[in-house]
Structure 1
Amino acid sequence: MAKRITSTFKPFKLHQKVWLEATNLRLSYPSSKIAPKRQGPFTIQQVISPWIYKLNLPSDWKIHPYEVEGIVNHRYRREGLQYLVKWKGYGHQENEWIHEEELTRFANELIQEYLKSHETSPKTHLTLKKPTRKSSQKR
């Protein structure tokens, strides 16, 4: 019979101080190599579930709840379609290019409004194939 693995996981408690893994945070370091691996300690404000916690984070991180004020522009990149987003409560210098897939998760109705107001909806990015030689053009 297989041996059962027991976990030593203990849920955190309200107002407890914890460290935050920083691998997915976009902080202002010139390189990820010199950025700290963890940030904190931060105080737990709310226990949502044993695995989800609301932390008291610094306001300059811009990780707090945010709202999209509008879509300013769009462009095509190799990765696909991107929209220039204006954040509510922030200046135009804080506008940010967001990939279409990410933006549709939380602002799909704004994308539809943007497309209607601009009449020329962004077409999907086409990749052109290199023309093949015809048998009559062979050397």
Structure 2
Amino acid sequence: MPDTPGPKPSVLFVCVHNAGRSQMAAAWLAHLAGDRVEVRSAGSAPADEVNPAAVRAMAEVGIDISARTPKVLTADAVRASDVCVTMGCGDTCPVFPGKRYVDWALDDPAGQGLDAVRPIRDEIERRVRALLAELGPGYTP
């Protein structure tokens, strides 16, 4: 019997550079939901690497994102996702009927030190946990 109450939901996290907020959000969701939720992240103008302060902040909570690489946002990624969570990317995310769009207003960790990134990491965790609760009883950690 499956652990989830129906088809596996898919969530796409999008920010401009796919180097901080969206990477942390995707890592939190994968950590908390395991294989019960399909997780994607992308950026409208991807950076060359994940923000080192985001990598360190996530390592502090036992989540390793050091091997992740920023990816470009594609219409296919949005089309394949049930929920698209945007974080400061403005109008660059394609909109498709039947998709759920959520915008999270979060500070950008770009150029910030570890002390500034920690509260962003913690707020992302809180929002990811709330998103899991919204997905239904089979998804909450």
**Fold conserved (TM > 0.5)?**
no
Decide which structure has greater helix share: 2
Decide which structure has greater strand share: 1
TM-score, structure 2 normalization: 0.21
Computing the radius of gyration from Cα coordinates, the structure with the larger value is 1
